[in-house]
Structure 1
Amino acid sequence: MAEHRWKSTLYSSDLYVEACGAIVFDMAAMPSSKKKVCLLHLTKTGEWVLPKGRRNCHETRQEAARREVREESGYGIALLPLTLATRAPSATEPHDVKDVARVYDDVVEPFMLDVRDLGKKGVKLVWWFVAELEPDGLDGKGKGEDQFRAEWLDARDALMRLTFQKDRDVLLRAVELVECMGNGLRHVTNGVSI
């Protein structure tokens, strides 16, 4: 029997978990040069993280991201459509369209995937979205789950405050995408013009 030409690992459903989260911007603060983002402070450990959590059965990734942010932070969000380079074809393209990254406008899809090796427990896939605080999103006044305290920080301060480098990398990419939205700019990332 022939080997597959790509390295491949199979995981049964008990050995992977999907999580979804969002980088949440307060767009009301966006006209200023200070972009405010929502971080979570874990009260027991002192860690600073981005809001995310496991996707439930029968729940879309988009639904999971919105629900998890509200549960953890207490804030309602709307996922932002982005100009995004992706290898996913649009619904209007032929079935055999070439598998290369293309740029699409107004895409509400994850902009980043974090694959975490859990050892004998398998893998955790974390899908990241960009979101904005809903106009009535402050109704929750930031009262989320007891183990978290939500705090709005300038993006630069948030980058310094986050405990984990991977979270910093995700936030930095989200800031780049939002800056491109606000300026109507297109720039080159990983060789793809966006």
Structure 2
Amino acid sequence: MALEDPDTNPNDKVIGSWLNTIDAKMLFLPAHNITMSCGTVTLDLARAKVLIVWNKRYQIYQLPKGRRNIEETMLSAAVRETYEETGYRVKPLQLNIATRATPAVREPGQGNPLVTDGFVSTEYLGGCLHEDPDAAGSTKTTFFYAATADSTAVPETDTQEEWEKLVPSWIDISDAATTLRFKGEVAAVMKAVEDARKTGLTIGV
């Protein structure tokens, strides 16, 4: 039996149209058709460099990233994958990142802003969405986090999976746009730089 409609109001038609639009565009994907990948934009702030990898399989430069393990947090996955693919133990950067996540504690009268800004956190910078070339019918979303490491340090070896053929490299941040294969990853680097500066961090000498 259908539920009875609650009390109506003058805006019912507008709200109904809005809900119908959401319903028409809403899509459910089962977990096996969603690939969740997590990676980092790792910066050496003092030397204005960013950590990338050379993918021998595809012959391209890209940011370090990989699939999340079951019950692993997204940030932990991003840090772990970066370590496995590059040999560097990176540290998450706390930045002033505008986000749609809500603050744990709200000041009186603050309400519920659509975008939370002005909070220093390790929230993700953003995400890249595309079809997963390794899994037919799957949508892949890669969440990138800001991190930092010393580009002069010697990376650990034998950290990659047996099938991975990746070579870590540090490049000048200014060369990211002409080096990275994907524009979305270039945008992730630029977002990390923007948020670092917004936080008050100095990049380069």
| TM-score normalised to structure 1 length | 0.80
User: Do the aligned partners of 1:24 and 1:133 also contact (CA within 8 Å) in 2?
Assistant: yes
User: Do the aligned partners of 1:76 and 1:138 also contact (CA within 8 Å) in 2?
Assistant: no
2:31 is aligned with 1:13: yes
Ranges in structure 2 where 5+ consecutive residues have no aligned partner:
3-15
User: Do the aligned partners of 2:131 and 2:138 also contact (CA within 8 Å) in 1?
Assistant: yes
**What is the DSSP-based 3-state SS (H/G/I as helix, E as strand, rest coil) of the residue aligned with 1:153?**
strand
Residue in structure 2 matching 1:174, options 153, 167, 192:
192
User: Do the aligned partners of 2:125 and 2:144 also contact (CA within 8 Å) in 1?
Assistant: yes
Residue in structure 1 matching 2:74, options 53, 61, 79:
61
Residue identity matched to 1:21: G
- In structure 2, the partner of 1:85 is 98
Ranges in structure 1 where 5+ consecutive residues have no aligned partner:
30-34, 185-194
Residue identity matched to 2:112: K
- In structure 2, the partner of 1:22 is 40
- In structure 1, the partner of 2:87 is 74
- Quote how far apart the aligned CAs of 1:170 are: 1.3
- Count of paired positions: 177
User: Do the aligned partners of 2:33 and 2:137 also contact (CA within 8 Å) in 1?
Assistant: yes
2:162 is aligned with 1:162: no
Taking structure 1 as reference, are residues 134 and 90 closer, same or farther at Cα in structure 2, changes over 3 Å only? farther
| TM-score normalised to structure 2 length | 0.76
- What is the aligned-residue RMSD (CA, Å)? 2.7
- Quote how far apart the aligned CAs of 1:124 are: 1.2
- Quote how far apart the aligned CAs of 1:49 are: 0.2
Distance (Å, rounded) in 2 between the aligned partners of 1:120 and 1:152: 33
- Quote how far apart the aligned CAs of 1:113 are: 1.4
**Structure number, greater radius of gyration:** 2
Residue in structure 2 matching 1:132, options 148, 154, 157:
148
**What is the DSSP-based 3-state SS (H/G/I as helix, E as strand, rest coil) of the residue aligned with 2:21?**
coil
**What is the DSSP-based 3-state SS (H/G/I as helix, E as strand, rest coil) of the residue aligned with 1:5?**
helix
